[in-house]
Structure 1
Amino acid sequence: MNTAAKCMGTACLLLLFTFSPLAQQPTSANEPPQSQQSAAINLTAIRKTIDTGHPADALQRLQDLRKSGDQPGLSRLEGLAHYALNDLKAADTAFAAALVFDPSDIESTQMRGLTLFRLGRPADAIPLLESAAAKGSLGKADPNYILALCYMDTRRYDDARHAFAAQFGFQPDSAAAYLAAARMFLRREFIPVSQTFAQKSLELDPALPLAHELLGEIALAGNHLDDAIAEFQKEKERNPLEGSIYDRLGDAYTRAARYDDAQRSLQAALLLEPNATGPYILLGKTMLKKGDAVAATTYLEHANQLDPSNYITHSLLGQAYRAMSRAEDASRETATAQKLQAATEPRLDGPH
């Protein structure tokens, strides 16, 4: 065979190999098909759209993708977009669908638990959040915290304590765990159980910092002023340089009409915490009670410089200016207080 014929034969073999099915296989057996790669890229881009604050745009793109059929991660992203839009029922439906598609989807597990909690279904949320917490997922919120709130709402107080302890890294039956749970119970206005847990923390550790302060707050919430003052005094003995103790003690003295004691305590609070707004406001209130509108104005104007959005400050300033016959200033401050207070009140016409 001559050289030309050999070359033509070789060219034919090359052409045959190039267009054969074997020649078109991926170079790696582990490499996904091109369509799967494109879908993954699309979902990553849509997730970024949600995370950067454009969930409505993301939903439109997800609807276009769904025309090609379901795929991993699609329902989860729909749930995240609905959640960002505060459409909790639609979010719950989407996360439920994501878990049917993939029961091991930890993000959908946590997010459905969080969604159910916000829908007022804590008992249904608990198993999902327990699963997420066991796997150490964080996501948009620590599942231990939301789980603890669900336990509180279903009156499972010891389970709530254990969840709070896990969040803070405390031993579940320690004095610190009881005190942390007691503080959270007080925040949710579970007054009797908060008091029980705070007292238990002191039984376990009589020298535990801030336990007496919390018992003072509990007594103050129930308007048991003598008990509150006694607890705050005990805490002051343990923490003599903690400014918040003097602030709370001053509040209790003001409510008990012990205005000189309140003034002394609040001035001590300012020495320790000169940038805290609370003592200035309480001193303004105390000085008004003592009939010294000029001194009250000085404290309240400084509080307003620190935090101009506090409606209580403006309300008290209105009273102080009125006592000084500054009618125009009083009217302005009262109107500002009413406007700020209205802005903080819950609304019933928001998104559902």
Structure 2
Amino acid sequence: MTLLPIRSVFVLVGGLAVCAALHAESPATQGAPKQDGSTPSASSATRDAGVEQATRLMQQGKNDEALRLLENIAAAEPARRGIARQIGIAYYRKSDFLKAVASFKKALEEDPGDSEAIQLMGLSYYLAGRPAEAIGPLEKVQTWYPSANVDASYILGICYIQTKDYASARKAFAKMFGVPTDSAAGYLFTARMLLRQDYDPVAEEYAKKAAELDPKLPRVHLLLGELYLYKSRLPEAVEQFQNELELNPGDASVYYK
């Protein structure tokens, strides 16, 4: 889980900020309480507790409450590292994706190597309907993060499809399923994804390529049959289903078709 290290960073940064403030004060004022009765260390500890509370609220699905809390902390301590990232996660979880992008950009100004922020920014672009802008971040990071709640490798492949970069889509799906890019299986998996996205002509082309590379590959004729059935090309659909049954007679779904 990534949350525990984040909390540790918050505590460390808060502690360093307190030390710096104490050294900056004159001996007469060091450790003296503020007029409102609070000390710098108490304020920092309160904000640390606020970050932890915001995390718990997000885990409970109370994203608006978490956002209010985090934005108050950011207003009180604008230079505090890590808050922009947490705000981005809260926006992501409440499906306000363009605001999430803006927050993740701020987080990456603080830490350009924050892989989770990079991936979540890419996913936010995709979910906001901007697949071309999602590709760059998603190409950089394809690790599973619980905060994302989706498979980033799958989303990257879909982004390639939506931008009509079919060769890169095939590469992404082949990597996702652990097969060679130019294999029959690589073409078949991509054809299935293309069909789901309603890219029928390219799906047919890729399925035929898979059948050409390996005529005995299971489910390739099933996919072609489904595609032809969808297009009301019934004789061709029946032929493909019969071909599939010859290869895979135990597949009940073919009989259903």
User: Do the structures match in fold with TM over 0.5?
Assistant: yes
CA deviation map 1:54-112 (0-9, x unaligned): 11111111022111223222111111111222222211111111111211111111111
Structure 2 vs 1, CA of residues 203 and 33 (structure 1 numbering), >3 Å: closer, same or farther?
Answer: closer
Which residue is 1:224 aligned to? Answer: 233
Partner residue of 1:167 out of 165, 173, 176: 176
Tell whether the 8 Å contact from 2:50 to 2:70 is kept in structure 1 after alignment. Answer: no
Which residue is 1:72 aligned to? Answer: 81
Structure 2 vs 1, CA of residues 167 and 131 (structure 1 numbering), >3 Å: closer, same or farther?
Answer: same
**Partners in 1 of 2:156 and 2:170 — Cα distance?**
10
Q: CA RMSD in A?
A: 1.9
Q: How does 1:190-269 map to 2 (within 5 A)?
A: 190-248=199-257
**Partners in 2 of 1:170 and 1:105 — Cα distance?**
29
Tell whether the 8 Å contact from 1:148 to 1:160 is kept in structure 2 after alignment. Answer: yes
Structure 2 vs 1, CA of residues 178 and 237 (structure 1 numbering), >3 Å: closer, same or farther?
Answer: same
Q: SS of the residue aligned with 1:61?
A: helix
Which residue is 1:144 aligned to? Answer: 153
Partner residue of 2:15 out of 22, 27, 35: 35
Partner residue of 1:52 out of 60, 65, 69: 60
**Partners in 1 of 2:14 and 2:73 — Cα distance?**
16
> Match for 1:54: what amino acid?
K
**Partners in 1 of 2:236 and 2:79 — Cα distance?**
63
Which residue is 1:321 aligned to? Answer: none
**Partners in 1 of 2:256 and 2:97 — Cα distance?**
41
Structure 2 vs 1, CA of residues 102 and 33 (structure 1 numbering), >3 Å: closer, same or farther?
Answer: closer
Residues 1:114 and 2:113 are matched in the alignment: no
Q: SS of the residue aligned with 1:115?
A: helix
> Match for 1:64: what amino acid?
N
**Partners in 2 of 1:185 and 1:219 — Cα distance?**
14
CA deviation map 1:302-323 (0-9, x unaligned): xxxxxxxxxxxxxxxxxxxxxx
Tell whether the 8 Å contact from 2:123 to 2:155 is kept in structure 1 after alignment. Answer: yes
When structure 1 is superposed on structure 2, of 189-198 and 61-70 the one drifting more is 61-70
Tell whether the 8 Å contact from 1:106 to 1:137 is kept in structure 2 after alignment. Answer: no
Tell whether the 8 Å contact from 1:46 to 1:58 is kept in structure 2 after alignment. Answer: yes
**Partners in 2 of 1:90 and 1:216 — Cα distance?**
43
> Match for 1:244: what amino acid?
S
**Partners in 2 of 1:71 and 1:170 — Cα distance?**
44
Partner residue of 1:97 out of 97, 100, 106: 106
Residues 1:130 and 2:125 are matched in the alignment: no
> Match for 2:256: what amino acid?
D
**Partners in 2 of 1:47 and 1:165 — Cα distance?**
36
Structure 2 vs 1, CA of residues 171 and 33 (structure 1 numbering), >3 Å: closer, same or farther?
Answer: closer
> Match for 2:236: what amino acid?
D
Taking structure 1 as the reference length, the TM-score comes to 0.58
